Amino acid sequence: MAYVKQKLWGGAFSKGPDPLAWSFGQSIDSDSELWASELDVSTAHVKMLGETGIITSEEAGQLECGLNAVGKSILADHEKNGGTWGDVFSRLAPDSEDVHAAIESLLEKEAGPVAGKLHAGRSRNDLVATTTKVWLRAQCQILRRRIRETQRTLLSLSRRHRADPMPGFTHMQSAQPVTLGFHLLAYFWMLQRDVERVAALERCLRFSPLGSAALAGTSLPIDRHFTARELAFEGPMPNALDATSDRDFVGDALHVCAMLMQHLSRLSQELVLWSGPMYGFVKLDEGVTTGSSIMPQKRNPDMAELIRGRSARVIGHWTAFMSMMKALPLGYNRDQQEDKPPLFDSFNLCIESLVLSARMLETAKFNLERMAAVAGDGFATATGVAEALVKEGVAFRSAHEQTGKLVRMCEEQGVSLPDLEVDDIAAQRAVRNATVEQSIASRNSYGGPAPGAMDIQIEEAEALLCHPDEGGISSATTHLTPPQGDPSQARDDKKRKD
């Protein structure tokens, strides 16, 4: 049998592609991830073709049924044989150039020659942009849910440890005593900004490129508002050339992922430090640590290290994407195909890292005694001394200077601040109160670690999580998406299958 490549072009060509060129150019290995979104988009498209009379309503019905059947056969194959979506397509539609060609060829198997009517009034240029947006929209929902879960973990731990003293650091040096709950809440608010960033990203996805065709629309009487509505977009993008050249939403998505990974990387850095022997603040659960092939005693915080290391990968993805786009003239250029692998990888990575971060925190054993014991090290309560002098009327600049000298006296005498003997009565009073407990209790300004301020902060955090759902676009069109949805889920599924 002749060797047939599945592709959506070729009439003007006198010969087939060079084999290396074919394998270099095919994208089915990565874009098969989009199949469910592609089916949603194609379904909306055929409905529109029927509504506008470009094809008959009977044909539209056949195509819609066919697309439905394609979805079922894909899921059935995956159910039976497992593997990645790329594996599924290499079984069902081998030698396809991309997910578009693969699905059109599967549709032909299911629906017969009417499949040839699917692609009227559209091009891969608008199709892939629309499909990627629909995919991204579904991912945003998953991502937000996962962020919320990690926030819940942080909030719950913060509540439990609201009053457990620990050293606060700046420049990685002793700064002021804080509490473990106060420290963990900082991450809650970082993730809160990530939730807002995801919501802003969803707004970037609200217009549909579909029907822009190759670069400048079509002479067929399509209805772009119809498909936009069907796919739950706010409306169609107003310029077809822009719609097919634009990848802003990919850049925005990569930035959102990079910022989230930065936050998780910082948390991971702290877990690595804290679980090390010099800090000794926490013992991570064995389930999220690994050992050494040579050193029998080792329990390494590998998950935290990998999250920290892989955060760099998303930085690289953004850089590669921006570097790729930076000097492309309009409209679509093939370089743009390079947008999807980093996008898919970044979302997978974010979601898995969120789950693992929460798991590390939930199962960690904090060494509260150790933390409390070192909370006052390094004259960490000195600021309180200076502020006590201010309350006595000393200008802050002088109080700071004076306290600095008290610290030097302590160092020279080898005593701690509360134990220092000084002549000045105000100063004496100030150092006496320079204990860890007093220090924490006194910093009651909004956002501080004192019990009262912490109550308010926890309450505000709780209020944010109470909202039943912060919305996003309704999932009307994503009925097929779940099975490929959440990679941390998928991994487990895959394992069970193997």
Q: Is-contact 350 257, C-beta < 8 A?
A: yes
The distance of Cα 135 from the centroid of its chain, to the nearest Å, equals 14
Shortest distance in whole angstroms from residue 74 CB to its own copies: 20
CB of 71 to its own copies, least distance (A): 21
Residues 224, 209: Cα–Cα separation, whole Å: 9
275 contacts: CB under 8 Å, gap ≥ 6: 281, 282, 283, 284, 301, 304
For its own copies, the closer CB: 333 or 475: 333
**What's the farthest any 2 CA atoms get from each other in the chain?**
101
- Cβ proximity to its own copies: between 425 and 463 the closer is 463
Using DSSP's 3-state secondary structure scheme, residue 28 falls into helix
* Tokens encoding 395: 């200008």
Closer residue to its own copies (CB): 346 or 478: 346
Q: For residues 57 and 66, is the Cβ–Cβ distance under 8 A?
A: no
CB of 467 or CB of 495, closer to its own copies: 495
Nearest residue to 139 (alpha-carbon basis) of 349, 358, 309, 360: 349
Closest CB to its own copies among residues 446, 467: 446
Pairing, β 235-236 against β 207-208: parallel
Q: Which lies closer to its own copies via its Cβ, residue 2 or residue 172? A: 172
Helix (H) or strand (E) holding 175: strand 173-179
* Phi, psi angle pair for 413, to nearest 5°: -90, -5
Q: Which residue has the tokens 């692609």?
A: 119
Minimum Å gap between C-beta 328 and its own copies is 6
How far apart (Å, rounded) are the C-alpha atoms in residues 211 and 229? 13
Q: How far is CA 473 from CA 134, 206, 476, in A?
A: 10, 9, 9
CB of 398 to its own copies, least distance (A): 6
Q: Which is nearer to its own copies, 228 or 478 (CB)?
A: 228
Tokens of 249: 């939403």
Residue 77, token pair as written in the block: 């194959």
Q: Considering the complex, state which of residue 33 and residue 478 has its C-beta at the smaller distance from its own copies.
A: 33
Cis, peptide link before residue 331, omega less than 30° from 0: yes
CA–CA distance, 180 with 162 (Å, rounded to integer): 6
Cβ 490 to its own copies shortest distance, Å = 10
User: Distance between CA 91 and CA 28 in Å, rounded?
Assistant: 12
Report in angstroms how near the CB of residue 389 gets to its own copies at its nearest: 10
Least distance (Å) from its own copies to the CB of residue 216? 5
DSSP 207-254: EE-TT-TTTT--SS---HHHHHHHTT-SEE-S-HHHHHH--HHHHHHH
Min separation Cβ 49 and its own copies, Å: 10
Which residues are the active-site residues?
171, 292
CA distance 153 to 358: 6
